Amino acid sequence: AQKVTQAQTEISVVEKEDVTLDCVYETRDTTYYLFWYKQPPSGELVFLIRRNSFDEQNEISGRYSWNFQKSTSSFNFTITASQVVDSAVYFCALSEANQFYFGTGTSLTVIP
Amino acid sequence: GAVVSQHPSWVICKSGTSVKIECRSLDFQATTMFWYRQFPKQSLMLMATSNEGSKATYEQGVEKDKFLINHASLTLSTLTVTSAHPEDSSFYICSAPDRGRVTGELFFGEGSRLTVL
């Protein structure tokens, strides 16, 4: 079974629209970490956020916000007022028991 | 922050040659490093876990003799693609956990894009 599921393979939005990338994870551990990474066309993985399992507070960083809900095992990522530079592949990941699991990624295209 | 550097960023080679990719942790010691492979429009697939001073652990389906991994020091791991063929063309990324931080986070290198002609 997939530990991290990103059901949206590709998303296209028009610039300035808001967009939410979904991430659902599966774990039996009580201590785990969740991450979001951005991978632009250059290939390098850019770290966006880390959340530990004991901190369900939502977080906002500029145009980015994250909604962590343990009840639904979800860690969704919203980009507000999207820009062309947001076009990239976004990966959600889970770290538990020294194992790291990536989702399959969501390719976001922001159309000018 | 913890920095992992990978070299080369890209390499083009002829079929049958071997290519070495280096992964260095610049400001921390890494007893363990992970090597990933990524095909176009796909996720990162763990190939192997590199352990300092001992043999690497390979994931199922990854040929040990094809992808030689050496972790000779606490800051350097190398991946050698031996007798490369066009199907080995891919994006290879290394990563290392910073044990001192206990955050479960992995720090990634910039990646190495291999093209085998």
Distance CA B70, CA B36 (A): 15
CA-closest candidate to residue B107, choices B95, B93, B94, B115 = B95
Residue-level pLDDT at A57: 84
Contact with chain A for residue B105, Cβ under 8 A: yes
Residue-level pLDDT at B62: 95
Distance to chain B for A99, nearest Cα, Å: 8
Contact with chain A for residue B62, Cβ under 8 A: no
Residue-level pLDDT at B102: 62
Q: What is the pLDDT of residues B51-105, one digit of tens each?
A: 988 899 999 999 999 999 999 899 999 999 999 999 999 999 999 987 766 667 8
Give which of B49, B106, B113 to mutate to test A binding, by max A Cβ within 10 Å: B106
Residue-level pLDDT at B2: 81
Residue B108 to residue A100, Cβ atoms within 8 A: no
Residue-level pLDDT at B100: 64
Give which of A11, A27, A100 to mutate to test B binding, by max B Cβ within 10 Å: A100
Long-range contacts of B48-54, Cβ-Cβ distance < 8 Å, separation of 24 or more: B50/B77, B52/B77
Chain A partners of B95 at a C-beta cutoff of 8 Å?
100
Residue-level pLDDT at A1: 66
Burial class (CB in 10 A: 0-12, 13-18, 19+), A37: buried
Helix (H, G, I), strand (E, B) or coil at B86: helix
- Residue in B41, B106, B111 closest to A100 by CB: B106
Residue-level pLDDT at B93: 96
Residue A104 to residue B42, Cβ atoms within 8 A: yes
Average pLDDT over residues B39-49: 92
Q: Which residue has the higher pLDDT, A12 or B72?
A: A12
Distance to chain B for A112, nearest Cα, Å: 22
Give Cβ neighbours of residue B24 (< 8 Å, ≥ 6 apart). Answer: B4, B5, B6, B7, B75, B76
Residue B105 to residue A43, Cβ atoms within 8 A: no
Instruction: State percent of chain B over pLDDT 70.
Output: 95
Q: What is the pLDDT of residues A17-69, one digit of tens each?
A: 999 999 999 999 999 999 999 999 989 999 999 999 998 888 888 999 999 99
Chain A: residue nearest B91 by CA? Answer: A43
Helix (H, G, I), strand (E, B) or coil at B100: helix
CA-closest candidate to residue A111, choices A20, A22, A13, A30 = A13
